[in-house]
Structure formats: C-alpha cells, structure tokens
Amino acid sequence: MSSLHFCAECNNLLYPEVDRTNHVLLYACRNCNYQQESRESLVYRNDLMSVTKEQPGIVDNLMKDPTLRRTHDLNCPSCGHAQAVLFQDQSKRIMNRMILFYVCCRCNHLFRDPTQPSPAVGPGQVWNDRKKK
C-alpha cells in the first residue's frame, strides 16, 4: 500500500491523478502544480475478503444492549435460562456461512446454537463455548 506523498516545492500533500495520454499514475500538488510519477500502480487497497477465525469479541454487558436482537427459543447450556441476546461473528468469510453467537441474559455465558454444525476451524484451533467472568 502506498504512503502519503508531499510536494518537494511547497510541502503540501500530493494527490493521485491519472495521466491518460501516457497511461501513468501521478501524484500532483493542488497548490503549485508540481507532479511526480508514482513508483507503484496501487493507490489504495481495501481487502474485504480476508479470512479469520470466529471472533465473538467483547461480550461484557451485551445483555443490556437494547439494539441487539433477543431470543426466547434457546436455553443456555450453562444455567438453562431461555433468554439470550445474539450477534453475528465479527470475522469476514469467503467460503463459510455466517456464525451466530448467543449470550445468556442471566449468567453471561457465550455459546453457539447447538443445532448448528460446528464451525470449520484450522489446524491446531479448537472452538470452545466459554463462560465470561
């Protein structure tokens, strides 16, 4: 990824521009018309399709969040309580399906729906239900 470039004459920020006649990427100053040719052809890369393991993130006090969806159809495996908040796994997936995490509103236990198949985990990784302290 490219970094910020500054004008050699007036020290202002250089902005990427395309020289359509020569088919090259330039960095140009908007103050003094200084231009320099870019060494690389990439200005910015936004990689949305990266793969990471399931990440429930921070689950403290999620049961108090009024914006999260709630369910009364799934009993907590830890305490048996029937109310839980649910949220989507925070990783970005290419091949796998969406993973939903549940947090019990009574004991704050983090778990997945037991009727769903286990998520695919990489070598040496184990997905465990865990209880948040």
Which residues participate in the annotated binding site for Zn(2+)?
A: 7, 10, 29, 32, 76, 79, 104, 107
Distances (CA, A) of 40 to 12, 13, 45, 98, 110: 20, 17, 12, 36, 46
Per the CB < 8 A criterion, the answer to whether 128 and 109 are in contact is: no
Enumerate residues 6+ apart whose C-beta is below 8 A from 8: 34, 36
Please enumerate, by residue number, every residue annotated as part of a binding site. 7, 10, 29, 32, 76, 79, 104, 107
Per the CB < 8 A criterion, the answer to whether 55 and 93 are in contact is: no
